[in-house]
Homo-oligomer: A and B are copies of this chain.
Amino acid sequence: MSETAEVTRILADYVVHAQPADIPASVRHEASRALLNALGCAIGSARHETVENALAAIRDFAGPPQAGVFGRRERLDALNAALINGISTHVLDYDDTHARAVHPSAPLWPALLAFAEWRKTSGADLIHAFVLGVETECRIALSVFPEHYDRGWHITGTAGIFGAAAATGRLLGLNEQQMRWALGIAATQSAGLREMFGSMCKSLHPGRAAQGGMTAALLAAKNFTSSERVLEAERGWAHVTSTRFEPTVITGELGSRFELMSNMYKPYACGLVVHATIDGCIQLRNEHQLQSQDIARVELTVCPIVMELTAIKEPQTGLQGKFSIFHAAATAIVFGAAGEPQFGDAAVNDPRVVTLRRLVTVAPDAALKKIQARISITLKDGRRFEKTVENALGTLARPMSDADLEAKFRSLTDGVLDNTEARTLIDLCWSAESLADGAAVARATVPHA
């Protein structure tokens, strides 16, 4: 049979038989980077209202205390822990982003770490399972992208569940047929509407993907059957949810091309389209030691889409600030950073920021890409500084360094973990692959205080 006719089998066989030694060191290191970034996001939102509400809803129904809630002291059964941690990893929209489709980590690390707390798993096995999960979810996503997304599906949820099923299925030691069932059981639970963007349900999607994917693997391990051709069948997942399906995207270069190497991390706590502007503003501020009170005007030139998405001139809340390029530029110059605190209610209403954002003007230039921006800052004394950002920090051409990721992690976990706890967890992420007990990473997210 052709690859088209056998894509589910080919993918399942790869996930079952792939060997850790065949994963390049650079890919394995990227898994550690994704882990550090995901845990920072989750711990930083451990007390987010969305997480609190979800926890309040399911608490009475949770099973034995098998796995922890990242950044908190509660323990839940592993499936409910995967749900809650999937929500917290994504709720700030500050988690990782594949260059073309899903947020890879939010459906995966919560399932994998919950699994490792439930059943002892080495760090090396966790890292390997994560890599396989990313390949599974990203390749399936890209095989139906963008038509699937354009129809209205939140692809991080709908494709993420396949990744969670494959990754935890690998750890369960599923055979080839069971892995096909796991993918099928994942497919028939695959859900999540873009209509939910702007509500708490957006982060429910990766939570449900983590929980549902792990459930799919557990069911398959007990020989709960499904279609064995769920991806390619005439009434299979791809054709039901998309007008495009390109199976060779899934099967091509399996084991040699790694989608994880197209993973990106957000340096700033807002939408990607504002990142080039923030990046340039921070660079100019630091290079010239700019003080906001000395500035006469800030002139931005950006891709036209930026003005469509972030045009709020006078934001009143932190959330509105994330959709204001005026605030983004001002807060970056005032604070020299653009993490969650710089997009909080206090920062949005800080008099220095308010004054400065009213001096910001924006012009569109269709020649610029979303990841590019030109910034011109004129001081009251007449001096003028300019910066053109070709590739915003965090894009593939200019990735965040390991040190950048550590700084982001510390900014997110400040107030939850103390310095020692943060250092310990950072080191555990970097050395994850050598841990005899991978669950040590999950346990280290829990603050002692």
Contacts and interface: CB of A to CB of B under 8 A. Distances in A.
Contact of A193 (B54, B57, B151, B187): B187
A196 B205 CA distance: 22
Interface stretch (A235-243, A299-307, A416-424): A235-243
A53 B195 contact: no
Interface stretch (A222-230, A329-337, A389-397): A222-230
A195 B58 contact: no
A201 B218 contact: no
B61 A77 contact: yes
Contacts of A62: 63, 77
Given A152-B239, A237-B193, A240-B193, A201 B188 contact: yes
B205 A188 contact: yes
Nearest to A158: B191
B188 A152 contact: no
B218 A58 contact: yes
Interface in A230-260: 230, 233, 235-237, 239-240
Interface range on chain A: under 10, 10 to 19, 20 to 34, or 35 or more?
Answer: 35 or more
A188 B191 contact: yes
Given A61-B66, A63-B61, A77-B61, A54 B196 contact: no
A215 interface: yes
A63 B153 CA distance: 32
A63 B50 contact: no
A176 B439 CA distance: 43
B58 A236 contact: no
A192 B236 CA distance: 10
Lowest 6 CB-CB distances: which A-B pairs, in order? A152-B240, A152-B235, A61-B77, A195-B235, A57-B218, A191-B191
